[in-house]
Amino acid sequence: MQTLDLATHALREMNAALQAQSQQTNATQWEILNPRGAHAIAVGLDAPIEVTVRGSTGYYCAGMNKQATVHVTGSAGPGVAENMMSGTVIIDGDASQYAGATGRGGLLVIKGNAASRCGISMKGIDIVVHGNIGHMSAFMGQAGNLVVCGDAGDALGDSLYEARLFVRGSVKSLGADCIEKEMRPEHLEILRDLLARAGADAKPEEFRRYGSARKLYNFNIDNAAAY
């Protein structure tokens, strides 16, 4: 286990050490102490390493992650796992706004609640939230899966493309062009796999699926008010 203490190491020094790891590294286990809400912790990683952050983080923790597993034992500020490519990011607490924004791959697990715009413009990432999510989540979601074990706020899936949304609880309102859809066997299998990987104690049959009505793909004057 390699330990980096932000009480004695500079943030830039810590990130440089993590970013220097490669496919051939033997230093696969890392621990970051005293994060104290610092921004941009463990960003831009591109190696199969495991990083445990002991505490809560600020903006953009684990942004642009590729291959690595980043585990935050506290909560995370805005933009956690932003533009994630692959790997796994786990937040034991809550996540602030736009968690997983523009994510292209990998798995983001939030064991608490997520604030507004969770999964905004998601492009292939899988996000599992054990609690609730805020308004405008999955706005312009293009691909991937957003799984919510609790409730969803206003305007879920506004201007959605082909991302799949699964919600176990209530949905305050659906955004433009987002509708409830049939839960077919293939969707139950996708959901079962994601719940297992995220360690969520929920059954796929308890969820409802939401997706795009596909009416806003191309401009139509009759739908002008919905854009």
Please state the pTM of the whole predicted model.
0.95
Q: Are residues 7 and 87 in the same domain?
A: yes
CA distances from residue 122 to 59, 77, 127, 135, 190 in whole angstroms, order as listed:
18, 18, 9, 15, 17
> Do residues 28 and 50 touch, judged by C-beta distance below 8 A?
yes
Domain annotation covers residue 167: yes
pLDDT at 142: 97
The residues, any chain, with a CB within 8 Å of residue 20's CB and separated by 6 or more, are none
Q: Are residues 205 and 112 in the same domain?
A: yes
| Domain residue limits at 171 | 106-216
| Strand 208-212 relative to strand 178-181, pairing | antiparallel
Q: Are residues 23 and 52 in the same domain?
A: yes
Among residues 96, 126, 152, the one where a domain terminates is: 96
What are 149-204's pLDDT values in tens digits?
A: 999 999 999 999 999 999 999 999 999 999 999 999 999 999 999 999 999 999 99
**Averaged pLDDT for residues 104-121:** 98
The alpha carbon torsion through 196, 133, 94, 48 (nearest 10 deg) reads 50
What are 60-99's pLDDT values in tens digits?
A: 999 999 999 999 999 999 999 999 999 999 999 999 999 9
* Residue 121 one-letter amino acid: S
Among residues 75, 96, 117, the one where a domain terminates is: 96
Cα four-point dihedral sign 19, 21, 27, 29: positive
Q: Are residues 115 and 64 in the same domain?
A: no
Domain annotation covers residue 227: no
Q: Are residues 65 and 10 in the same domain?
A: yes
Does the pLDDT at position 227 exceed 70?
no
pLDDT band, residue 216 (cuts 50/70/90): confident
- On average, the pLDDT of the chain sits at 96
Q: How many CB atoms lie within 10 A of CB 24?
A: 6
Query: At residue 187, what are phi and psi to the nearest 5 degrees?
Result: -75, -35
pLDDT band, residue 218 (cuts 50/70/90): confident
Count of domains for the chain: 2
Domain annotation covers residue 223: no
Q: Are residues 46 and 126 in the same domain?
A: no
Q: Are residues 113 and 207 in the same domain?
A: yes
Does the pLDDT at position 7 exceed 80?
yes
pLDDT band, residue 215 (cuts 50/70/90): confident
**Averaged pLDDT for residues 31-48:** 97
Does the pLDDT at position 223 exceed 90?
no
Q: Are residues 5 and 33 in the same domain?
A: yes
